[in-house]
Structure 1
Amino acid sequence: MTWRRPSLLVAGVLLAGTATACGGGSQNTATAFDPNNCQGGTLEILNQNDAGSHLDPARLYTSGGGNIPSLLFRTLTTRARKAGADGAKVAPDLATDTGEPNADATVWTYHLRDGLKFEDGTPITAADVKYGIERGFAAELPGGAPYLHDWLVNAQNYPGPYKDPNGIAAIETPDAKTIVFHLNSPHGDFPYLATATQFAPVPKAKDTGADYEKHPVSSGPYKIESYDKGKSVVLVRNTNWSREVDPNRLACPDRIEGTYGLDPAVINQRLSTGTGKDADAVTTDTDLGPSELAQLDGNPDLAKRVAKGGFPYTFYLAFDNTKAPFDNIKVRQAFNYAIDRTSVVNAAGGSSLAYPATTFLPNNKNMGYQAFDFFPAGASGDPAKAKQLLAEAGFPNGITVTLAHRSDDAEQDGPKVATAVQDAYKKAGITVKLQSIDSDSYGTTVDNPATQPQMAVQGWGADWPSGGPFIIPIFDGRQYLAGGGNFNTSHFNDPKVNAEIDEINKITDPAQAAQRWGQLDAEISKQAPNVLLFHTTQLRLFGKNVRNAFVSDWTGVYDLSQVSVK
C-alpha cells in the first residue's frame, strides 16, 4: 500500500504572536444567503498559486488547485458541500449513492445518475469513468493519487490505456451506468477515495494525452474559457449542467476569474480594502496577514469577512523509537512532559492559526477524535517531571539531542517552532542543537531512514478526513520503507496495532470506523512514539459582496461551488 503526504494547505504569512480567532461563513454576512436566488455576477479569485499543478484530472492530487477542479470535474463521490463537521462527510456525486460494498469491503459497486452530460452534451457513461481512472496509471500523466495502483487487484503493473487499451480487469462496467471495483484487501474508506479527481470521467475520443489539460472536457458546472498557466483562468457556465443532476454544487456566479502569482500581502490588502472587483473576491491559498489580523478586534466590519476552517493537520516531533536515546520509553515520556505547547503555538502563528495537540488525530469527529492527554504537563510543560524521568532513564545530568527543521521561516516546521522547542527543553536539562535543512530537500531527508535526523519537526495531513490515512502511514509497521519515502519515522511496529488497522479497514460505517480510529490513537499515544505539538486552523478573508463563504473542514479552503457575489 502506498501513501502520500499532501502539501500543507496553510499558505500565507505566519505570525509570531497570538490573536483572537474568528468565526466565518454565511453567518457573518450582512445579507441572508438564499441558495435559490444566488445566480449571477463574477467571482474573483486572488491567489499565490495556480488553479492546479495541472488541469488534467489524472494529474491532480485529490482535489487540489484551490477547489477550481471541483468546478470542472465531477467524480463518483464528493465531499459534502457544507460548513463545519458536516463538510467532512462523503456525498454521492456522479453516482446515486456513496457506493455498495460487498460483505468484506473488497468489492464496491456504483450506479450513475440519470441525465449526466459532458460540456458538449455527450452522455457520461461508466466507460468514461473507467477510462478516466485508467489514464491515471499512464507514465505520461504522473502526479495523481496513487492508491488504486495498490488497492485494485493485479493493477500494479498496468501501464495506462495508451500502451494497454484493454484496460484494468479489476474495474468492470457491465452496462453504461454501472461500474464495479475489485480490491485486493478490504477498504472501508473507498467512498472517500472516490472523491479524487482521478475518478472524473474523460471521453476517450477527446483525450489528447499530455495536452488534455489545455482544455479538459468539463463534467461540472463550469467550463474553461481561457487558461494561462501560472497567471490566470476564466471559467464560464457549462450549459449542459444543471442542479437537477448535481444536488451538491450551487454554482451561483455566472463567471469565475482567477488571478495567480500574487504576493500574500497584496492579496490580503486587496481583500481588506475591497474596492472594485476585489469586493467580489476570495482567496483559496492565503491566510490572514499580520496587518489584517491586528485589525480584527477594532474593525468589526473586517471581522465579519473572515472565515475559519480546520483542515486536519498535525505537527509533531519525530524520532526513531528503535535507536538510543529514544528506544527508552522514559526518555520519550520525558520529552513529552517537557514541551511548552503555548510557546510552540505562538511560534506557529498564534492561537488563531494553531491549537495545542495532545492527540495525533485533530479535533475532527469524522476522523475519530477522542480527547486524551497521557502526559499532562499543563500549558507550559512540566520540566520537573521530565527531569525525574530522564534520571530514571539513566540521564541524571540531562541529555543532548539534535533537532532538524525546515530552513524557511514562513513554514510551521521552520526555525521559529524549532527555537521554541529548544527553549522549552532547556528548562528540563535537555540541550537541543538545531539543524536547518533546505525546504526543497527536507522531506526526502527526513523520510529516508538512511538520512533521517535524530529528531525532526514533522507535519502530517490526510488526503481525506478519516482516521485511516492519518494513522496508517505513520504507525502501521508494514508501511515502513527502508529505501526512502518512509513516513513511519518512529519506526513503530506493534503487531496489535497492525491487526487493529486491518480490522478497522473492513468497516464500511464511517461512524463505527471513526470510533475505532480514535481508540487506536489513544493506544498508540500511550507508547509516546513522538511528541505532539499542535494542529492547524485557517483564517481567510472574503470580499464585501461575497456570500456563503465558508472554509471546508475537508480541504481547508473556500468551497467555491457554494459562494455567491449577489
Structure 2
Amino acid sequence: MRPQSLISRRVAAAAVSLVLAGGAAACAGPQSGEDTKDKGGNAVGAPGKPQKGGTLTILNAEPQSDFDPARLYTSGGGNIPSLVFRTLTTRNRENGAEGTKVVPDLATDTGRPNADATEWTYTLKDGLKFEDGTPITTADIKYGIERSFAAELSGGAPYLRDWLVGGEKYQGPYKDKKGLDSIVIPDAKTIVFKLRKPEGDFPFVATQTQFVPVPKAKDTGVKYEEHPISSGPYRVVSNKNDGERLSLERNPHWDPKTDEERKAYPDKVEVYSGLDSAVINQRLSTSAGPDSAAVTTDTNLGPAELAQIGSDKALADRVGTGHFGFTTYLAFNPKVKPFDNIKLRQAISYAVNRTSVVNAAGGSTLAEPATTFLPEQKVFGYTPYDHFPAGPSGNAQKAKELLKEAGYPDGITVTLTHSTQQNRQTSPEVATAVQQGLAAAGITVKLQGLENGAFNEARWDVKKTPGFFISRWGADWPSGGPFLAPIFDGRQIVTNGSNYNHAQLNDPAVNKEIDEINKLTDQSAAAQRWGALDRKIGEQALDVPLFHPVYKRLVGKSVKNVVISDWTGVLDVSQVSVK
C-alpha cells in the first residue's frame, strides 16, 4: 500500500491503505432523510433531508495529482476520482462494515468466475454513456486497462501486471498495438479476464481505477489527466497545477438509473489542495461562507483539536469517525543479528508498553492497541490472539526471563530505526514510547531516526533492511490477502525493488496456504482462513503489532448525509448533500 495518510502500495501494492464479493445487487447508501451515524452511534453532520444542488468544497493538504485512471492508485485522493470515474465493480456506499462489500458498478454483477477462479466474466449494464454521449463498451474498458501498462503512465496498482496472462511482459498499447490476449471482448457488453493463477479477490481488484473505460480516440497520453473523459456523475471542467485546483460539474449523460451507489447531490465540486492541515481544520470549524459546505478527504483532527472540540457539542456533532484496515507494528529482520534469536524477539514482544505507544500516537481516540497483525474487522478474517500477553503496560518480568534464555541475562542494547516524519504512526514519539517500554525489561534501545524518504528506502531495500524498525501496512481492499501476502509470502520477496516481506519469510507451508485461500470465491470462508493463517504466523514473533489508527474528520456545518465505510475510513464524497 502506499505509505500516505490512509492508505496502501503494492498491496501497497501488493497496499496502506477489502471484502465480501457476492452477486447481490448494489445497495443504496443511507435513505433520504435518514440520520447518518458514526461507529459510536452518534449522528454526524447537519440534520434534515438531503437535497440536490449547491457546491461541495473539498479542502485537502495533498493535491489530487495524476488525475488519470491509469496512474491513480486505489486509495489515492480519497473518493474524488470516483466522482468522475466508474469501474466494473465498486465499494458499497454504506457506513461501517456494510461499506466493505463489493457491489456492481458498470457491470451487472460482481463477476462470474470459472471453476478455479482463473477466469472472470463481466457483462455491462444497458444505457452506459461517456460525458459526450457516446456508449461505453467493453472495448473501452479493455483499452483503459491496457494503457495502464504503459511506462509513461505508471503509478497505478500493479495487480493486473502480476495476475493477467502475459501481463508481466506487456508494455501498453503505445508500443504493442496487438493488446493483451488475456482480456477477451466477445461483444460490446461482455469482457473476460484470463488469469495466471486463481484469484478469488478479483472483484475487489475490479474496483480499481485501471478498470475505468477510456475511449481510444480521446486518449491524449500523458495529457489525458488534464481532461479525462467522464463515465461518472461529474466531469472535469478544469485541472490546474496537477490537481491542486480541480473543478467538477455535472455530467449530463450520467444516468442515475445505471448507478445505484453515487448520490451526486451537489451541482458542482470544487477541490482546493496544498493547504496546511491546521488551516483546513480551522476553516471547517468556522464554516464561514462556502466553507460551511466543505469537507476534507485527507486531513485528520489531532489530539489538541479533538480536546477543544470535545467541549463544543455543535462541533462534536460534525466529527465523523472512520476505521481503515491499517496496522502499525515493530518489524524484525531475522537476517540481522541478534534478531535471528526468536527468544529475543519474544522478549521484545512481551516488553512493549502499548498504553504508552497509543498515547504517543494521539491517544485512545486516535489509536486502538493491537495484538494481531490483521485489523480488528471481520472482513479481514480477524481472529483474536495474543501469543505474548504483555498487558496494557508490558510484562517486564516475562521479558527478562526470555532475555536470559536468549543468552542476555544482563540485558541487551539494540537499535530501533524510525521515520522522523510527524505522522503519528512511525514518528519519533512512537519510537520513544517503545524505547521507554523496553527499558523496563533491561532492553536498551538506541533510536535511529531517518528522513522519511531515506527511511522508506531502507525498510524496502532487502539489502539495507534494518534488524528492528517501526513499519506500517494498509490493505488496498478489505480482505486478508492484500494484508498478509505482501508481508509473509516468500515468493513476493523483491531483491531489486520495493520489498515488503521485511522478515524475508519463505515458508512453503505459508505460501501453499496463501495459494489455497486465493482459490476461494466465498469471501466469508476465505476470511476464516486468513485469520487462522495470521494466528499461525504470529507464533514466530516476526513482528509486534502496536496499534490500528482511527480517523477523526470534521465537516462543514451545512454538510448532510455523512457516510463513512470501513473500506476507506473517510467520508464518501459521492454521498454528501450541501443543501
TM-score w.r.t. the length of structure 1 is 0.94
Question: Take 2:39 and 2:286, find their aligned partners in 1: how far apart are those partners?
Answer: 20
Asked if structure 1 preserves the Cα contact closer than 8 Å seen for 2:488 and 2:501, the reply is yes
Which whole-Å CA distance do the structure 1 matches of 2:464 and 2:3 have between them?
21
Q: What's the offset of the Cα at 1:30?
A: 4.8
Pair 1:505-2:518 in alignment: yes
1:134 aligned counterpart, secondary structure:
helix
In the alignment, the residues of structure 2 paired with residue 462 and residue 517 of structure 1 have an alpha-carbon distance, to the nearest angstrom, of: 13
Deviations 1:390-437 (A, max 9, x none): 101111011111100011234420211111101100000001111111
- Equivalent residue letter for 1:27: A
- The question of 1:70 aligning with 2:86 is answered no
Displacement of 1:557 after TM fit? 2.2
CA distance 1:517–1:190, shift in 2 (3 Å): same
Task: Report which stretch shifted further, 107-116 or 493-502.
Answer: 493-502
Secondary structure of 1:66's match?
coil
1:59 and 2:56 equivalent?
A: no
* Structure 1 residue 154: Cα displacement: 1.5
Say if 1:308 and 1:550, in contact at 8 Å, map to a contact too: no
Matches for 1:280-295 after TM superposition, within 5 Å: 280-295=293-308
Amino acid at match of 1:200: V
Using the alignment, how far apart are the partners of 1:230 and 1:150 within structure 2?
29
In the alignment, what sits opposite 2:346? 333
| Equivalent residue, structure 2, for 1:156 | 168
- Deviation per CA, 1:103-144: give whole Å up to 9, x if none: 111000000000000000000000000000000001121111
Query: Are 2:47 and 1:31 equivalent residues in the alignment?
Result: yes
Distance 1:199 1:26 in 2: 36
Letter in 1 for 2:162: D
SS of corresponding position for 1:235: strand
Runs of 4+ in 1 over 6 A off after TM superposition: none
State the 1:26 CA deviation: 8.2
Q: Which moved more, 1:325-334 or 1:117-126?
A: 325-334
For the residues of structure 2 that align with 1:409 and 1:231, how far apart are their CA atoms? Answer: 23
One of 314, 318, 321 as aligned partner of 1:301 = 314
Does the 8 Å contact 1:24/1:306 carry over to 2?
no
Deviation at 1:297, TM superposition (A): 2.7
Tell me whether 1:88 sits opposite 2:104 in the alignment: no
Is contact 1:6-1:463 (8 Å) kept?
A: no
- Kept after mapping to 1: 8 A contact 2:126/2:258: yes
> What are the within-5 Å matches in structure 2 for residues 229-268 of structure 1?
229-268=242-281
Match of 2:5 in 1: 8
1:1-34 alpha-carbon deviations (Å, 9 max, x no partner): xxx54533289xxxxxxxxxx7579823452445
1:287-337, CA deviations, whole angstroms, 9 ceiling, x for partnerless residues? 013443112331111110000101111111111124432222221111110
CA spacing shift, 1:26–1:124, aligned 2, 3 Å = farther
Q: Is 1:357 aligned to residue 370 of structure 2?
A: yes
CA contact (8 A) 2:45 2:555 kept: no
The yes-or-no answer on 1:407 pairing with 2:420 is yes
Aligned mates of 1:318, 1:291 — CA distance in 2: 30
Q: Is the 8 A contact 1:61 1:196 kept in 2?
A: yes
2:515 maps to 1:486: no
Aligned to 1:388: 401
Kindly report the root-mean-square deviation, in angstroms, between the aligned alpha carbons of the 2 structures: 1.7
Distance in 2 separating the partners of 1:390 and 1:169: 57
CA distance in 1, matches of 2:541, 2:513: 18
1:228-276 deviation line (CA, Å, top 9, x unaligned): 1343111110011121011110101111111111111111111111111
Match of 1:112 among 124, 136, 160: 124
Q: 1:8 to 1:295 in 2, by over 3 A?
A: closer
TM-score by length of 2: 0.92
- The question of 1:123 aligning with 2:120 is answered no
**Following TM superposition, by how much is the alpha carbon of 1:220 offset from its aligned partner in structure 2, in angstroms?**
0.1
**Residue number in structure 2 paired with 1:14:** none
Change in 2 beyond 3 A, CA 1:244/1:300: same
* Equivalent in the alignment of 1:18: none
1:195 maps to which of 207, 222, 227: 207
SS in 2 for 1:513: helix
SS of 2:162's partner is helix
One-letter amino acid matched to 2:467: Q
* Aligned 1:472-483 pairs, distance under 5 A: 472-483=485-496
**Any gaps of 5 or more consecutive residues in structure 1?**
12-21
Question: Is the Cα contact below 8 Å between 2:335 and 2:467 reproduced in 1?
Answer: no
In structure 1, which of residues 414, 423, 426 is the aligned counterpart of residue 436 of structure 2? Answer: 423
Distance verdict in 2 for CA 1:403–1:63, change over 3 Å: closer
Name 1:171's counterpart in structure 2.
183
CA distance in 2, matches of 1:97, 1:71: 20
Deviation of residue 441 (structure 1)? 1.9
Corresponding residue for residue 15 of structure 1 = none
**Deviations 1:324-356 (Å, cap 9, x if unpaired)?**
322222211111100000100111111121111
Q: Is the 8 A contact 1:26 1:550 kept in 2?
A: no
Partner of 2:25: none
- What is residue 344 of structure 1 aligned with on the other side? 357
Partner of 1:438: 451
CA distance in 2, matches of 1:125, 1:483: 39
Conserved 8 A contact 2:39-2:96: no
Identity of aligned residues (%): 61
Q: Is the Cα contact below 8 Å between 1:10 and 1:538 reproduced in 2?
A: no
SS state at 2:151 partner: coil
Question: Which residue does 1:374 correspond to in 2?
Answer: 387
SS of equivalent to 1:154: coil
Note the C-alpha offset of 1:486: 1.1
Q: Secondary structure at the match of 1:67?
A: coil
Q: CA deviation at 1:156?
A: 1.2
Aligned to 1:145: 157
Is the CA contact 1:24–1:307 (under 8 Å) kept in the aligned structure 2? no
CA distance in 1, matches of 2:239, 2:494: 39
